[in-house]
Amino acid sequence: MATVSAVTLRNALCQLQCRLTGVPQHAFGYVGLVSNYCQVRTKKQTKAQYKLEPDWFVNRKNRRQGKALTGDNEDFVQEVIGDTYRNQDSMLKEDPWPRQEYHRNTRRTGVVAIKLGVVPQWTKEGHKFFTTLLQVIDNHVIRYTPPEEFEKTSGWKPWWGQRFGSVVVGAMSSDPRNFSKAYNNLFTEAGVPPKKKLTRFLVTPDAAIQPGTPLTAMHFRAGDHVDVQAKTIDYGFQGVVKRWGMKGMPASHGVTKAHRKMGSTGGGGDKSGIWKGKKMPGHMGDKWRILKGLKIWRINTKYNVLYVQGPNIPGNTHGVVRIYDTILRYKRPAPDNHPPMPTWAEEDSQQGVELEYFDENLHVMSEASVSYSQ
């Protein structure tokens, strides 16, 4: 007879989830109460075919028919747009926020990057490995919401409590004529051109960052570990062999029209039909996936490119990728050797910014070949 001494809200909701979905309590993933990680065999769960945009999204598309401009007028308008944003300096409106200390549980903001491709690199031991190039294009902080205000918004989850504020980061400035007025208004606080991609990061209040702050690859250091989130390649509607790795059946020896089929759908009798979560053909890919604890081997400051461990970052070339400091405890930096807080500023590199930064174990191409001592 197990007694529950203090019922927290989270516990109560977890237990409710168990009851309704049949997923055992230990199987819940970290991100949310509904986990994708184990097979669900229950009658009550339904799987949404689509996911609507959250209710805080504004209409982005510019519904007005833009008038066609002549060449000279078009050039003039572009010049005006450029001047407007160049002359705006939102950071001068307020004093810059004070830089705070890094603690064990600090979470800094992340960046939004584009996956460029995969190149091989070599360690100082001569061992070959693959790295993915991620380019940080034109990131700015759009908004910071402290924990007390963030708690009241609809994007907040109860288990975050008052630990985290939210930072909205935008990537890739674009022409404001392409977007609606409502969308463009989101960027007035930051004083930056409207961005093509927006995303949110959870930050602790000591990593609060001022809207309008630019973020570059220097936000990270060579040797840091990061978590990378991206949408997987969209394979469309796929059969079970590709989607779930089922073996299918032999190509010959009497097999009739069943070379790539599921085969059996389950047990009979008391097992009462096909269970929920049965692996079947369906849509494959286009899902957010996280890779944790990836090492940054190298940083190129001219192109703002990070060389991140591994050839397997989800998504196609030129897919959008979210990068932030890893949550893995033993790969996080020590407080005495911490990354720049809340992000890199010019005062952090008083000797000047080098073109490239390398991890200490990386073989730099301009050095002599690897040789082993006797």
Partner 1 sequence: MEKKKYYSCHLRTHDRKWITVMALLAHVARGCSRIPKLQLEAALSVRFQSTLSHNDTKARRARELRPRRNYLLNDEVEQHRKSLLQQSPEVEEIPVQQAEANVPRDFRHVMPEFLPDPNPLYRDRVTEKLERMDMYRRRTCIDIPEFYVGSIMAVTMADHHAPGKQSRFVGICIQRSGTGLRADFTLRNVIDGQGVEVRFDMYGASLQKIEVLKLEQRLDDELFYLRDAAQEYSTIPFDFEPVPLPKGATVPVNSTKVKLNPRPWLERWERHELKGVEDLNLPEKKYRRARQVAKPWERWDLMKRQRESINEDEEESIMKETYMETESTRRARGRQKASLKKTR
Selected binder of partner 1 within 26, 43, 49, 256 (CB under 8 A): 49
196 or 261: CB nearest partner 1? 196
Binding map of partner 1 across residues 169-198, x = CB under 8 A, - = no contact? ---xxxx-----------------x--x--
Rounded to a whole number of angstroms, the minimum distance from the CB of residue 373 to partner 1 is: 7
CB 349 to partner 1: min, Å: 15
Provide, rounded to whole angstroms, the least separation between the CB of residue 106 and partner 1.
Answer: 26
Residue 342: cis peptide before it, omega within 30 degrees of 0: yes
214 to 20, 65, 71: CA distances (angstroms): 45, 32, 32
Q: Which helix (H) or strand (E) holds 139?
A: strand 139-145
- Nearer residue to partner 1 within complex by CB, 110 or 212: 212
Rg (CA), the chain: 25
> Cβ atoms within 10 A of the Cβ of 55, count?
7
User: Among 75-83, 177-185, 248-256, 289-297, which window interacts with partner 1 (CB under 8 A)?
Assistant: 75-83
User: Cβ closer to partner 1: 13 or 258?
Assistant: 13
Please list the residues that pair with 215 across neighbouring strands: 139
Determine contact, residues 323/92, Cβ cutoff 8 Å.
Answer: no
- Distance in Å, CB of 227 to partner 1, minimum: 19
Q: Please, which residue, 2 or 334, has the CB nearer to partner 1?
A: 2
Is 13 an interacting residue with respect to partner 1 (CB under 8 A)? Answer: yes
Q: Is residue 159 within 8 Å of residue 10, measured between CB atoms?
A: yes
Least spacing, CB of residue 296 vs partner 1, in Å: 15
Please state the closest distance from residue 223 (CB atom) to partner 1, in A.
19
CB atoms within 10 A of CB 252: 7
Applying CB under 8 A, which part among 93-101, 112-120, 181-189, 240-248 lies near partner 1?
112-120
Rounded CA gap, 365 and 131, in Å? 15
Measured CA to CA, the distance from residue 169 to residue 113 in angstroms comes to 11
User: Does 286 sit near partner 1 (CB under 8 A)?
Assistant: yes
Binding to partner 1 (CB under 8 A) within 297-316 occurs at 300, 303, 305, 315-316
Give which of 228, 171, 184 is closest to 59, Cα–Cα: 184
Compute how many other C-beta atoms are within 10 angstroms of the C-beta atom of residue 211: 20
Using rule CB under 8 A, residue 320 touches partner 1: yes
Rank residues 54 and 66 by Cβ distance to partner 1 and give the closer one. Answer: 54
Only one of the segments 31-39, 64-72, 253-261, 338-346 lies at the binding site for partner 1 (rule: CB under 8 A); that segment is 31-39
In the beta sheet, which residues pair with residue 231? 288
User: Per-residue DSSP letters for 241-287?
Assistant: HHHH------SSTT--S-TTS-------GGG-SPPTT---SEEE---
Task: Compute the least distance from the CB of residue 205 to partner 1, in Å.
Answer: 21
Contact between 275 and partner 1 per CB under 8 A: no
* Cβ(313)–Cβ(115) below 8 Å: yes
How many C-beta neighbours within 10 Å does residue 115 have? 21
- Is residue 74 part of the contact set for partner 1 (CB under 8 A)? no
